[in-house]
Structure 1
Amino acid sequence: MGHREDLLEGAKRCLLEKGFARTTARDIVKESGTNLASIGYHYGSKDALLAQAYLALVEQTSDAFEGGEDARIGGAPGSLERFRAVFANIVATMSLPGSMWRLGMEVMSMGDQMPEVRDHLVRAQREGGRGMVAIIMDVPENEVSDETADTLGGIYMTLITGLIAQWTFDQKSAPDADQLTEGLRQIVEAAGRPELAATAGDDTP
Structure 2
Amino acid sequence: MPCEMCDRPAGADYLCARCTADLGLRLGQLPALYAALGSMLAPGRTADGGRGATLVEAPAPARLDVVDQRAEFGVLEVWARALAADRAVPVAVPGADDLGARATAACAALGAAVDWIASSWPAAGDCAGEVRGLFDGARSVVGAGDLPARMGRCPRLVHGAACGAELLLPQGQQVLRCGWCGATYPPGVWAALRVAQRDLAAAL
Which category describes the TM-score, using the shorter chain as reference length? under 0.3
TM-score (ref. length: structure 1)? 0.27
TM-score, normalised relative to structure 2: 0.27
Structure exhibiting the larger radius of gyration computed from Cα positions: 1
Whichever structure has more strand as a proportion of its residues is 2
Higher relative contact order, chain-length normalized (CA < 8 Å, sep 6+)? 2
